[in-house]
Amino acid sequence: MRRLLILTALACSLGVAGEPRISVSYSRFTLPNGLDVILHEDHTVPVVAVNLSYRVGSADEKPGKTGFAHLFEHIMFMGSRDVPVGKFDQWLEAAGGDNNANTTEDRTDYYEDVPSNALALPLFLESDRMGFLLDSMTEAKVNAQRDVVRNERRETIENAPYGLAPILIDENLYPPDHPYHWPTIGSMADLSAASYNDVVQFFRTYYVPGNASLVIAGDIDPVKARAAVEYWFSDVKSGAPVPPQPVPVAHLTAEKRVVQEDRVELPRLYMVWNTPAEFAPGDAELDLLASVLAGGKTSRLYRRLVYDLQIAQDVSAAQVSARLGSEFWIVVTARSGHTLSEIAGIVQEELDRVKKDPPSRRELERAVNQYEASFLDRLENIGTTANLLNTYVRLTGNPDYFNEDLSRYKAIDPSDIQAIAETWLPDESRVVLSVVPNGKKELAAAKEPR
Amino acid sequence: MVETRRPLSHSLLILAALGALHAPVLQAQPDRTAPPRPGPPPELRLPPIQHYGFSNGTKVVLLERHSVPVVQINLLVRAGTSMDPAGKGGLASITAAMLTEGAGPRGALEFADAVDYLGAQVAASARLYTTTVALHTPLSKLDSGLVLLADLVRRPAFLPGELARVRNEHLTAILQMRDDPDILASLVFKRTLYGEHPYGAPSIGSAASLATVTVDDLRIFHAAYFVPANTTIIVVGDITAAEIMPKLEKAFGTWSGNAVSPPPVPPVPQKREKTLVLVDKPGAAQSVIRIGRIGAARLTDDYYAIVVMNALLGGTFTSRLNMNLREAHGYSYGASSQFDFLPLPGPFVAAASVQTEVTDKALTEFVNELRGILEPVPDGDLERVKNYLALGFTGGFQSVAQIASQLEELAIYGLPDDYFNGYIGRILAVTKPDVERVARRYINTDDLAFIVVGDRKEIGERVTALNLAPATFLTIDEVLGPAPEGGK
């Protein structure tokens, strides 16, 4: 495909119906080895964002080897055939570039922001590790990053207040054979078990061009950028297709109550449900429901718990979307002297209310307006735009899904919010986690909050 | 560019570029023998910074950015935590917080609803010398957003009931500091360096000082400092001067009030003794480390040399501290250092969270690196960090909020309009002797403060055995006062 001539930057123009339309222009082509490439031209700042997304995450791990996808992400920075250890970062920094990577259940993203004169460098580095990582892999490299990742887990989980809560929630929300049952960071024991052979197998299975998509966005000449991609990735061999994996059903048939003691001053309540996958019907409705419940001071839970009753310090709600299924979270931190039973009782009243009657039109419009504005904000940073293009490609097949994404929210009616709450937030299939200060189990949410 | 070693692949690269228009492509084998050399670096192409003002003394700074239809307005007011009256620590912060709790004709909930309905964001927060009240809004909602912004700054309600609620929020936030080892470490670090000086005080205040704050205190503070002559309105976004100035004139042109001179901030403490403070956090999986001393003022002539020197030491991923503690030893997920440049010398701090068992070894490595940076720096390392800082500078001008906060720095320190354009050249002009000179001057290892927040039972003996400095042991109660029991 050669749609290289009519690339413009972000277009935010008025369509026929007078509705603002958010659209991001792009060109797309596939290399003979299977790598999917998307180019987006935007000359606002002389920066290019490179975003390479592999469709592999912790959901592809097996029990006993949890945390491996993320450990592997770290190992990807330890050099490849033509990039000695340490040079990946040194060369990028010498060119004025920044880089990082992150891993979720579903995918692993690697990205570089470089001044536009240096685009060839990240393409060289990414193609070298995509093609030739194993040529210089050693046991010692694996061990070095294992220690780093153990400290990452200590810093973000063990030594962080309430840090273990998300892990406990997923353990209870998904059956043991579901790939979201275990945390992306992995268990300390499994991290110790990861071996050099695991690295080889994992790389050969998942780090193949056909299992990735590459977005280059920013201050580029698309003809030259395409030539550079074709040049640098031409000697990366295609691999075997990654077989699709069966997905077990995640559905709780009874409410699960869990109590965890932690080194914290205040008790915190978590209520979490299994909900529809990212971009599936219901996903956007649940985003708006989260906003109606806890977005801003006038949201229902904030207003009652924090503003009126002043029995909570903070409240939040979110539809946490993912490919195989999402989670709807409500989190409330109690003030001193208040129990989570008291908090849970109020949360339940508000859940019952939103299941019984639709929210007001203004409540809904307020939430939609905030989503609409957030679409503009996401386009202000070229790295964020590159990430979004890749997310849309991965989940919908269409890089410029911006307008379709926003249209989901605009099409929602107040009665849809009521229906979605009733369908997806039943009392009898949720996890209710109480994190309480050490030795204060009596502050947990009791079985019958009402 | 002549690359005689690789004539074949070079000509094929051109062929590949042409081939893009005529697929299929005759493909060159990429030359991976050396990293590709970048072309000439792009320049920072910032539009001019425009200056305007009103007869009441309010200054306006505008930078047009017409890529995305959004506008950022930062009202920078010279009202900060260093102006908290004695015994009223936290007053500037709670005043900022109370600005969004009702203003003009709207109560707290109505005001929040109005902002949220626009899809806009409004935030107010106080730093040492200034409070920033920020409006971020879609261009289409700018007029309504400005009405709310003007109410918030000029006509805050400061209702007693709302103050009581926000005070309880702040008191609870102080209680929650006990949970967070990073916050505890930073708190103790600043207090150790600066003592009772305003630079040593937490901006939120203390339980005792917050208890004394009344609505009258807020009103007096607001009347004294939230006045036109103290205010710079920074506008960045998809708008021209002809469009924004009449709107700003309407919102702020009639604003009146006379500034009160803020109390002078005393000089920072002089030479200190080496000291080590260990805060006991029983059961901690890691020890949080902060090491440092009083650093440099923002307007020092050494500024660029310090920025380069710190980048080498702990300011980038490949910096010595991170390479040592993370990559070579695996003690930490990351180690870094920074200079906090303030009107008076702010803190220099090196920091990491390290595995409990290796706390003493990690401290030793910190000291090795702080001594090591006093030695001559290899040329290659110096060039790398200079290029990183210089070439990466343009990336810091993407979002309107990012640009507005860059412009705040110009306003606060009176830096010239060509400051950004000169930055790259000034970084590249830093020499090896410059780096050595500022390292010796600012990374003196004779008066370092070492703060460790961790499990004393596990680390206490081995850390004190290092003899880094005379040790003090504190409990969390001794840092923050005893936790209040129950009740609100």
Contact A370 B116 (CB under 8 A): yes
**Both structure tokens of B105:** 């004709």
A401 lies in some domain: no
**Pick from B178, B181, B288: which is nearest to A265 by CB?**
B178
**Both structure tokens of B151:** 């109410």
**Pick from A152, A161, A376: which is nearest to B138 by CB?**
A376
Render the burial of B94-108: b for 16+ CB within 10 Å, e for the rest.
Answer: bbbbbbbbbbbebeb
Chain B residues with CB under 8 Å of A218 CB are none
The mean pLDDT of B113-127, rounded to a whole number, is 97
**Both structure tokens of A247:** 């997905």
Whether A275 and A197 map to the same domain: the answer is no
Whether B114 and B239 map to the same domain: the answer is yes
Whether A22 and A169 map to the same domain: the answer is yes
CA distance A90 to A88: 6
Confidence band (pLDDT; 50, 70, 90) for A179?
A: very high
Q: Can you list the alpha helix ranges (DSSP code H) found in A154-234?
A: 165-173, 188-193, 196-206, 222-232
A334 lies in some domain: yes
Chain A residues with CB under 8 Å of B354 CB are 151
Which domain range does residue B10 map to? Answer: 1-30
Q: Which of A253, A244, A348, A218 has the alpha carbon at shortest distance from A293? A: A348
Residue indicated by tokens 């880094």: B468
**Pick from A2, A93, A376: which is nearest to B318 by CB?**
A93
B320 lies in some domain: yes
Q: Which of B391, B423, B475 to mutate to test the interface with A (most CBs of A within 10 A)?
A: B391
**For residue B67, is pLDDT > 70?**
yes
Whether A103 and A56 map to the same domain: the answer is yes
pLDDT digits (tens, 9 = 90+) for A138-153: 999 999 999 999 999 9
**Pick from A152, A266, A380: which is nearest to B68 by CB?**
A380
Contact B165 A91 (CB under 8 A): no
Residue A60 DSSP symbol: G
For A164, A182, A183, A252, B284, the CA distances from A168, given in Å and listed in that order, are: 6, 9, 9, 15, 19
A178, A198, A232 — which closes off a domain?
A232
Q: Which of B204, B317, B452 to mutate to test the interface with A (most CBs of A within 10 A)?
A: B317
Chain B residues with CB under 8 Å of A152 CB are 333
CA distance B88 to B76: 22
**Both structure tokens of B299:** 């307007």
**Both structure tokens of A136:** 């210089």
CA distance A164 to B251: 48
pLDDT digits (tens, 9 = 90+) for A56-65: 999 999 999 9
Q: Quote ipTM for the complex.
A: 0.92
A376 lies in some domain: no
CA distance A252 to A173: 7
Which residues fall within 8 angstroms of residue A338, CB to CB, at 6 or more apart? A311, A312
Whether B330 and B404 map to the same domain: the answer is yes
A240 touches chain B (CB under 8 A): no
How high is the pLDDT of residue B23? 43
A19 lies in some domain: yes
The mean pLDDT of A214-224, rounded to a whole number, is 97
How high is the pLDDT of residue A5? 26
Whether B220 and B312 map to the same domain: the answer is no
A18 touches chain B (CB under 8 A): no
Chain B residues with CB under 8 Å of A150 CB are 330, 355
pLDDT digits (tens, 9 = 90+) for A261-289: 999 999 999 999 999 999 999 999 999 99
Whether A170 and A296 map to the same domain: the answer is no
Whether B14 and B157 map to the same domain: the answer is no
B:382-401 residues touching chain A, CB 8 A cutoff:
383-385, 387-388, 390-395, 397-400
pLDDT digits (tens, 9 = 90+) for B13-40: 333 333 333 444 456 789 999 999 988 8
**For residue B462, is pLDDT > 80?**
yes
Chain A residues with CB under 8 Å of B388 CB are 93-94, 96
Contact A9 B67 (CB under 8 A): yes
Helix axes B215-225, B91-99, angle to 10 degrees: 90
Q: Which of A94, A117, A371 has the alpha carbon at shortest distance from A224? A: A117
Shortest Cα distance from B256 to chain A (angstroms)? 31
Whether B460 and B352 map to the same domain: the answer is yes
B15 lies in some domain: yes
Q: Can you list the alpha helix ranges (DSSP code H) found in B64-180?
A: 91-99, 108-118, 142-154, 160-176
Q: Which of A98, A266, A297 to mutate to test the interface with B (most CBs of B within 10 A)?
A: A297
Chain A residues with CB under 8 Å of B326 CB are 148, 151
B68 lies in some domain: yes
How high is the pLDDT of residue A11? 37
B354 touches chain A (CB under 8 A): yes
Chain A, chain B: beta-carbon pairs less than 8 Å apart: 254
Whether B239 and B376 map to the same domain: the answer is no
A308 touches chain B (CB under 8 A): no
Whether A204 and A334 map to the same domain: the answer is no
B109 touches chain A (CB under 8 A): yes
**For residue A23, is pLDDT > 90?**
no
How high is the pLDDT of residue A249? 81
Contact B398 A89 (CB under 8 A): no
Whether B11 and B58 map to the same domain: the answer is no
B418 touches chain A (CB under 8 A): no
For A398, B290, B293, B373, B396, the CA distances from B338, given in Å and listed in that order, are: 42, 11, 11, 14, 18
Average pLDDT, rounded, for chain B: 92
Chain A residues with CB under 8 Å of B115 CB are 296
pLDDT digits (tens, 9 = 90+) for A224-258: 999 999 999 999 999 999 988 888 888 898 999 99
Q: Which of A153, A227, A159 has the alpha carbon at shortest distance from A183? A: A153
Which domain range does residue A307 map to? Answer: 256-358+413-443
Q: Which of A297, A99, A207, A36 has the alpha carbon at shortest distance from B395? A: A99
Shortest Cα distance from B423 to chain A (angstroms)? 14
Which residues fall within 8 angstroms of residue B159, CB to CB, at 6 or more apart? B101, B102, B107, B108, B215
pLDDT digits (tens, 9 = 90+) for A328-352: 999 999 999 999 999 999 999 999 9
Chain A residues with CB under 8 Å of B30 CB are 124, 127, 231-232, 234-235
**Pick from B38, B118, B355: which is nearest to A121 by CB?**
B38
How high is the pLDDT of residue B21? 39
A:130-149 residues touching chain B, CB 8 A cutoff:
144, 146-148
A337 lies in some domain: yes
B483 to chain A: closest CA residue = A265
A299 lies in some domain: yes
Q: Are B467 and B360 in contact (CB under 8 A)?
A: no
Confidence band (pLDDT; 50, 70, 90) for A15?
A: very low
Contact B172 A335 (CB under 8 A): yes
Whether A63 and A193 map to the same domain: the answer is yes
Q: Are B486 and A337 in contact (CB under 8 A)?
A: yes
B4 lies in some domain: yes
A11 touches chain B (CB under 8 A): no
Q: Are A215 and A393 in contact (CB under 8 A)?
A: yes
B475 touches chain A (CB under 8 A): no
Shortest Cα distance from A420 to chain B (angstroms)? 22
Whether B156 and B233 map to the same domain: the answer is yes
Shortest Cα distance from B130 to chain A (angstroms)? 26
Confidence band (pLDDT; 50, 70, 90) for B272?
A: confident
**Total of domains in chain B:** 3
> At A343, which CATH number?
3.30.830.10
Contact B69 A219 (CB under 8 A): no
Whether B356 and B428 map to the same domain: the answer is yes
The mean pLDDT of B264-289, rounded to a whole number, is 93
Q: Can you list the alpha helix ranges (DSSP code H) found in A233-381?
A: 283-294, 300-301, 340-356, 361-378
Degrees, nearest 5: CA angle B159-B164-B167:
115
Whether B295 and B237 map to the same domain: the answer is no
Whether A164 and A309 map to the same domain: the answer is no
B327 touches chain A (CB under 8 A): yes
**For residue A14, is pLDDT > 80?**
no
B:114-173 residues touching chain A, CB 8 A cutoff:
115-120, 136-138, 141, 165, 168-169, 172-173
Contact A296 B353 (CB under 8 A): no
Count of CB atoms within 10 A of residue A11's CB?
10
B477 touches chain A (CB under 8 A): no
The burial of B349, by beta-carbon neighbours within 10 Å (0-12 exposed, 13-18 middle, 19 or more buried), is given as buried
B179 to chain A: closest CA residue = A264
How high is the pLDDT of residue B5? 30
Backbone φ, ψ for residue A199 (5° rounding) = -60, -45
Chain B residues with CB under 8 Å of A268 CB are none
> At B372, which CATH number?
3.30.830.10
Contact A313 B176 (CB under 8 A): yes
Q: Which of B394, B384, B383 has the alpha carbon at shortest distance from A115? A: B394
**For residue A221, is pLDDT > 60?**
yes
Whole-model pTM: value is 0.93
A332 lies in some domain: yes
Chain A residues with CB under 8 Å of B355 CB are 150-151, 154
**Total of domains in chain A:** 2
B108 touches chain A (CB under 8 A): yes
Q: Are B403 and B63 in contact (CB under 8 A)?
A: yes
**Pick from A94, A95, A366: which is nearest to B116 by CB?**
A366
Whether B126 and B160 map to the same domain: the answer is yes
Q: Which of A25, A35, A23 has the alpha carbon at shortest distance from A4? A: A25
A90 touches chain B (CB under 8 A): yes
For A100, A224, A351, A398, the CA distances from A41, given in Å and listed in that order, are: 22, 12, 45, 17
A392 lies in some domain: no
